[in-house]
Amino acid sequence: MSPSLESSGQTRAPHEIKFLISRELAERIRHWAAEFMEHDPHTEASLNHAYRVRSIYFDTPQFDVFHKRGSFARGKYRIREYLPAGILFLERKLKAKGVVRKRRTTVAADELARLVESPNKSWSGFWYHRRLALRRLQPTCAISYLRFPFISGNRSDPLRLTLDQLIIATPSDGFRFPETNGHGEVLPEQAILELKYLGETPALFKSLADQFGLTPQPVSKYRLALPALGLAKRIEPTKESPVQVPLVCT
């Protein structure tokens, strides 16, 4: 259960905090997580308790999402698939001041073609089709990576830690996943750590941040991918306002 998934009974704000770290530090944190948390049950033993994720990201012809213009700054629309399970989602992600909320709908691969048609309102993905049309969003790029996910807590108080690496970006101009052959990694020497939880920062994550000297920073796979593909100029990162909840123990 992801803390950021929309739920009518959810009263505590879902947080998602990211860190750009070295591969060496990612390996150390992976061993720490294996000791103090559990492997996500959907991982593959053959991938060292990981799974592969690939997503198609959407933007306007003027790259309003990439440049964070107006209301486009707060949300991303993507098609996400988890492999080798083959689970496919139509997903909207909204983020403001560290609080993240997601809405997503499971679809079959052959249903993606309905996004270029005029689907019946009874289709579960109709809401997504409508939002893409209203916001003039079109497929821009595909991003794939290897994810090491860990969980703790329970369904009402879930904690989630993920480590993403081997991030590969590919141009995309359709509702399908392109081949990644011949494309290089976006962060060949680094990994992205994400901590996800509800409400106040849990003691477990405070201990993690304290032990490894972690400092949160804004990092977006999509905003790293477009410059790497030559589709947009790199945006220099700016420091966000201090993280809403302290991560380091005192």
| CA–CA separation, 164 and 144 (whole Å) | 10
Q: Where are the beta strands (DSSP E) in 26-171?
A: 38-39, 51-59, 75-83, 87-96, 99-107, 138-154, 157-171
pLDDT category at 7 given cuts 50, 70, 90 is low
DSSP 50: B
CATH number reported for the structural domain that contains residue 105 in this entry: 3.20.100.30
CA distances from 63 to 135, 140, 201 (A): 12, 9, 34
Number of H helices, E strands in the chain: 4, 9
pLDDT category at 159 given cuts 50, 70, 90 is very high
User: Tens digit of pLDDT for each residue in 69-83?
Assistant: 999 998 999 999 999
Report yes or no on 201 lying in a domain: yes
Q: What is the extent of the structural domain holding 75?
A: 14-228
Other CB atoms within 10 A of residue 28 CB:
13
Query: Looking at residue 174, what is its pLDDT?
Result: 86
CB crowding 106-123: b at 16 or more within 10 Å, else e = ebeeebbebbeeebeeee
User: Tens digit of pLDDT for each residue in 85-136?
Assistant: 889 999 999 988 778 889 999 999 999 989 988 888 999 999 999 999 999 9
Query: Looking at residue 184, what is its pLDDT?
Result: 73
Query: Looking at residue 69, what is its pLDDT?
Result: 94
Count of domains for the chain: 1
Greater confidence, 28 or 95? Answer: 28
Report yes or no on 74 lying in a domain: yes
Report yes or no on 9 lying in a domain: no
DSSP 44: B
Point out the least confidently predicted range of 21-30, 113-122, 232-241.
Answer: 232-241
Report yes or no on 202 lying in a domain: yes
Report yes or no on 181 lying in a domain: yes
Report yes or no on 8 lying in a domain: no
pLDDT category at 241 given cuts 50, 70, 90 is very low
For the chain, what is the mean pLDDT? 88
